[in-house]
Amino acid sequence: MTNQCIILAGGLGMRLRPSVPDLPKCMAPVAGKPFLDHVVRHFQSQGVDQFIFSLGYKHELILDHLRKNYAPSQVKYVIEKEPLGTGGAIRLAAGQADREHVLVTNGDTLFRIDSKKLLQFHRQQAASCTLCLKPMKNFDRYGVVELNKVDNTIVNFREKQHYESGLINGGVYALELGHFLKKDLPEKFSFEKDYLEKFYTTGTVYGQVQDEYFIDIGIPEDYEKANVDFNEMKL
């Protein structure tokens, strides 16, 4: 069975502009190739063989790269005429999916998870959405996700502030599209705020902890860190 992954790659990348002024965030060069390639290669290694890209800002550059480097059977895409938010972008891309359950990730974030493990857990729980969570220490860039330690349902989302330790949303989801698409949501909405944080109380939103390598290149400091890390790891 084809495993499909939606990749959100339509962001403006304002905070990264000082380091990468002329490219979409996902096309920022890291260890000699666009960051997006690192994301795609990882999920290919996990058995994903088709990607649905939700594009917006400077989408022509991304499409040109995809057409030159990937087979047509590997790639589908949608283009936002105007920014739809993460939720609207996922919903638009979902129109190209033909699987009941898909992976969702960001084109500017790499969380080197075991996606087969995530999908297996997601299906076993009959979850509407399963978040892959990263343990982190001494941080203030992310909010914290609290889990029920008995059944791994999500019990709270805590706002961004300084935390000594906690689980963060790693930006990789297993998503049951039927449940998601039935929700009455506006055209433009945040997947995190308007879907996850609104509907987690139904008890069908789960979290799975995977303590794997995580990097979000959305700010210059972490973009530079990614270049150092990837060169060291020969990625």
pLDDT per residue, tens digit, the chain (235 aa), is 458 999 999 877 677 666 666 788 899 999 999 999 999 999 999 999 999 999 998 999 999 999 999 999 999 999 999 999 999 999 999 999 999 999 999 999 999 999 999 999 999 999 999 999 999 999 999 999 999 999 999 999 999 999 999 999 999 999 999 999 999 999 999 999 999 999 999 889 999 999 999 999 988 999 999 999 998 886 6
In this prediction the pTM is 0.95
Give the per-residue pLDDT at 173: 98
Domain spans, the chain:
4-233
Give the per-residue pLDDT at 160: 92
Topology of domain 4-233 in CATH is Spore Coat Polysaccharide Biosynthesis Protein SpsA; Chain A (3.90.550)
Which residue do the tokens 């941080």 mark?
139
DSSP codes, 138-206: EE-SS-EEEE-TTT-BEEEEE-SS-EEEEEEEEEEEEEEHHHHHHS---SS--IIIIIIHHHGGGTTEE
Give the per-residue pLDDT at 203: 83
Give the per-residue pLDDT at 196: 96
Q: Cβ(48)–Cβ(103) under 8 Å?
A: yes
CA dist 59 and 80 (Å) reads 9
Q: Cβ(67)–Cβ(102) under 8 Å?
A: no
Give the per-residue pLDDT at 20: 67
